[in-house]
Chain A
Amino acid sequence: MLSKVKSMALNGLEGYLVEIETYISNGIPEFEIVGLGDTTVKEAKKRVEAAIKNSKIDFPTQKILINLAPADMRKGGSSFDLAILVGILIATNKIPKIDIDKLAQTIFIGEVSLEGKLSRVNGILAMCLEAKELGIKRVILPKSNANEAGIIEELDIIPIGNVQELIKYLNNDIGIQKVHTQIKRSKTKYDLDFSEVKGQENVKRALEITATGGHNCLLIGSPGTGKTMMSKRLNTILPELTLEEAMETTKIYSVSGELKKDGLIMERPFRMPHHTVTKNTIIGGGRNPKPGEISLAHNGVLFLDELPEFNRNTLEALREPIENKEIAINRIYGNYIFPCNFIFIASMNPCPCGYYGDEEKECKCTMQEIHRYLSKISGPLLDRIDLHIEVKRPRYEKISSKTKSETSEEIRKRVNIAKEIQRERYKNENIASNSELTNSLITKYCKLDEKGEEILETAFKKLKLSVRAYEKILKIARTIADLEQKTDIEYKHIAEAIQYRSLDRRYDN
């Protein structure tokens, strides 16, 4: 007896169709799965057998052969369990009244437990999105995954609790209510707010510019000045996720098994890996590559606290993804591309002891030690950071003052307007923000008035700025002009932009 059941597998972030062919023939009882499955797939034999037996159904004492087609692609994970189980049940005619036509448009995804219950698997959203593209009508999956898949309106999502229920449903003995998750477009509530930050106006300003232009930012300051605290609030002034962005982000979280609650992720992610993190965890990797921290930060913020403490290799690996907004991971069995369009924020101390340039504590480092500390971050990485800002210890009077500072909501309003201006300006250029401006686009969109040119020229001579600093300054100036809703970059915008290149000024000589 032969049966064919459809399921989905993951290839990086994309789902693809896998056909589960079950062939049961007479002979010495045997159960084999072919089609390049990993150990988890091989172990499905044991789970499926126990689940069938524990659901009070006879397990065939025959020769069972399962093929996962296409047979030349590596497959992993426990999501085929359900399809294998259904394949065996159909091949042994345990579901006599099954609708064969409907079966061709149905996919089964899920892991089975030994007692015959269905449990949650990762990457449901990605698989269902692909299923929709392939014209599949119905998805049968574990209850715990239903809300995640229910976002896709075009599919009938059937949640199943255990094997008994599944058989009854397929036999048309019972009906099961389809799941459809309402997407709540309510205002995202953040626990943090910029109004809680007293003083530190220059840092707030820099972060506002960062958020507006999608720039990358480096905060330099002594311990305890609030670098981390303020970075964590960057999310609250970014625009709300669009539906499309929310889908992308949720898909990545779903695939990496990081989805904490059901439904779409509507908050921008904020990722803050510890400095002992390995290169693969940051970039993504593994034999069946999983997205790394940079992809989990897609559409959000990647924050690296204590930047010089990170492994040099890890930091070097960040260079291309920051530039390209996606990372390609190459394996013998295929290339995987994960998106990673994030705002990169990093923080560091100004020197090994942490107090260089501090107002109260004297720095005990020698200039050589400071240079060595700074050289831990390579030039090429520094090249990709647009703004450097010095964070100072706020005065006590400021911390205790009762006057509330600006709320995130107020700042976000300005950011949104400036973002809109950028989108409008670049609609024919295939970019969305000032940080993405290329060389030729800079000459096109960042024109300076005479005084601006003059200032830039003096700045070059006096501060000995590099060519890379030149482009950054223009990009930042463009963002500042957008925040003020000015069409042209004025000299003050240029002068302010130079202020945000403190590392160039401070350490290049």
Chain B
Amino acid sequence: MIIEYSDRLYPEKLRQINKPPSRLYVLGNIEILNNNGIAVVGSRTNTQYGEKMCKTFTKNLVEYDFTIISGLAVGIDSIAHKTCLKNSGKTIAVLPCGFNHIYPEVNIPLAQEILKNGGTLISEYDENTKPDSDKFRERNRIVAGLGIGTLIIEAGNRSGTSITARHTTEQGKPVFAIPSSLDNKKGKVTNELIRNGAYLVRNVEDIINVYDIKLTKRKSKKKDIYLDISEELIDVYKVIDDIPKNVNQIAIELGLNVSDVNYKTMLLVMENKIMELPGQRFIRNDEDYE
């Protein structure tokens, strides 16, 4: 649907930014446009560290009922959207193009997923507009504009992410940055932002405390964990905790054959009880997603 600047539904937050879009094209849930949202943005070529941080922070933000706003790009943007959906949060994707030309194409399924789960796609361009580099930059002011603050995970030098950070500051909203190792190429910009006055955040509470709004953490639904695990798998399940372990370690701990551990872990993975991390290591799966 189309929302004109003059329209009653036009998000108030966008009216206050520089060069507000004259009209918005929206797919999905328009109500969440006025929710408290945090823009979670970052590099398209993120590192393992970036992925991990993005997942943790997004998950925790969702638990405080924040809407997650991002740009549907590959890398951090996608991770933010996906993590939000997994934790049944609401997410807004701001597109640099029309709805008929969703970019990048690999994320079309993700866009559909967002719509299915009560999220929103938004763009200032009509459906047949193709993306180009100018539009990518333009789009970032809306990403910043829809949120009440921006969380930068990782960013490349002179990237779109830095532009989003600049817009956020210009709009008078807080920029949050996750500190990075000095070795990390993708961490230079975030560290620099912190040096220039962005909020250094260590956990999601560092973000919450900036605002004087009362927020309560959503209670995560913890199931009775031993209940639906079959007799033969319980020994393996018990030794797997939050610290990743590989098959060999589990086998030694339990005095089992690797062949047994192999099949048991695989059955647990398939029952969503545990999760596999890169390098065939396993941790408990406390997230409850499909």
- Using a CB–CB cutoff of 8 Å, the interface residues on chain A facing chain B are 199-202, 204-205, 350, 356-359, 362-369, 390, 392, 394-395, 398, 455, 458-459, 462-463, 480, 491-496, 498-499, 502, 505-506
In the complex, what residue of chain B is closest to A462 when comparing beta carbons? B270
Partner of B47, one of A201, A359, A363, A455: A363
Please count the residue pairs between chain A and chain B whose beta carbons lie under 8 angstroms apart in the complex: 106
User: Is the Cβ of B278 less than 8 Å from the Cβ of A495?
Assistant: no
A392-B267 CB under 8 A given contacts A364-B47, A367-B45, A480-B259 = no
In the assembled complex, the Cα of A271 lies from the Cα of B20 at a distance in Å of 67
Closest chain-B Cβ to A489's Cβ sits at a distance in Å of: 12
Interface string of B249-290 (1 = CB under 8 A from A): 101100001111011111101101000111111000000000
Is the pair B281, A359 in contact by a Cβ cutoff of 8 Å? yes
> Contact partner of B266 among A368, A480, A495, CB < 8 A?
A495
Alpha-carbon distance between A153 and B53 when the two chains are bound, in angstroms: 73
Q: Are A493 and B263 touching (Cβ within 8 A)?
A: yes
Known contacts A205-B259, A362-B49: A506-B248 contact under CB 8 Å: no
In the bound complex, CA of A356 to CA of B279 (Å): 7
User: For A369, what are the chain B residues with a Cβ–Cβ distance below 8 Å?
Assistant: 45
B28: CB under 8 A from chain A?
A: no
> A392–B266 contact, CB under 8 A?
no
Complex: chain B residue closest to A506, CB-CB? B278
Bound together, the chains give a CA A459 to CA B246 distance in angstroms of: 20
Annotate B192-228 by CB proximity to A: 1 below 8 A, 0 otherwise: 0000000000000000000000000000000000000
B229: min CB distance to chain A, Å: 15
B45, A368: Cβ atoms closer than 8 Å: yes
B-chain residues with CB within 8 Å of residue A200 when the two chains form the complex: 248
Q: Are B248 and A496 in contact (CB under 8 A)?
A: no
- Is B75 among interface residues, defined by CB-CB distance under 8 A? yes
Cross-chain contact B186 with A205 (CB below 8 angstroms): no
**Residues of B contacting A356 with CB < 8 Å?**
48, 278-279
* B183 proximity list for chain A (CB < 8 A): 364
Q: Once bound together, how far apart are the Cα atoms of A363 and B278, in whole Å?
A: 11
Give min CB distance, B240 to chain A, whole Å: 15
Is A390 a contact partner of B279 (Cβ separation < 8 A)?
yes
Q: A357-B277, A365-B47 are in contact. Are A202 and B266 (CB under 8 A)?
A: no
Contact surface of B with A, Cβ cutoff 8 Å: 43-49, 51, 75, 181, 183-184, 186, 244, 246-249, 251-252, 257-260, 262-267, 269-270, 272, 276-281
Give Cα A362–Cα B48 distance, bound, in whole angstroms: 8
Instruction: Decide if B47 touches A496 in the complex (CB within 8 Å).
Output: no
Looking at chain A's contact residues, the main secondary structure is helix
Check if A205 sits within 8 Å of B258, measured CB to CB.
Answer: yes
- Contact at A392–B246, with CB atoms within 8 Å? yes
Report the separation of the CA atoms of residues A205 and B260 in the bound assembly, to the nearest whole angstrom.
11
Contact between B259 and A357, CB atoms less than 8 A apart: no
Q: A201-B248, A350-B278, A392-B279 are in contact. Are A496 and B45 (CB under 8 A)?
A: no
**A390 to B51 CA separation, bound complex (whole angstroms):** 21
B47 surroundings in chain A (CB, below 8 A): 363-367
A380 to B43, CA, bound (A): 32
Inside 8 A of A359's CB, which chain B residues have their CB? 244, 246, 279, 281
Question: From A458, which residue of chain B is reached at the shortest CB distance?
Answer: B270
Q: A202-B262, A462-B270 are in contact. Are A358 and B248 (CB under 8 A)?
A: no
CA distance A356 to B281 in the complex (A): 12
**Which residues of chain A are near B44, meaning CB under 8 Å?**
368
Known contacts A201-B258, A392-B248; is A496 also within 8 Å of B266 by CB?
yes
Assembly CA distance A146 to B46 (angstroms) = 65
- The 6 A-B pairs with the shortest beta carbon distances in the complex, nearest first, are A357-B279, A357-B278, A495-B263, A366-B45, A496-B263, A390-B280
**Smallest CB separation, A388 vs chain B (Å):** 9
A395–B248 CA distance with the chains assembled, in angstroms: 10
Residue of B184, B249, B272 ringed by the most chain A CB atoms within 10 A? B249
Q: Can you name 17 extra interface pairs (CB under 8 A) apart from A356-B279, A362-B181, A392-B248?
A: A201-B258, A202-B258, A204-B258, A205-B258, A357-B278, A357-B280, A362-B48, A366-B186, A367-B48, A367-B75, A368-B45, A390-B279, A455-B267, A492-B260, A492-B263, A499-B266, A505-B276
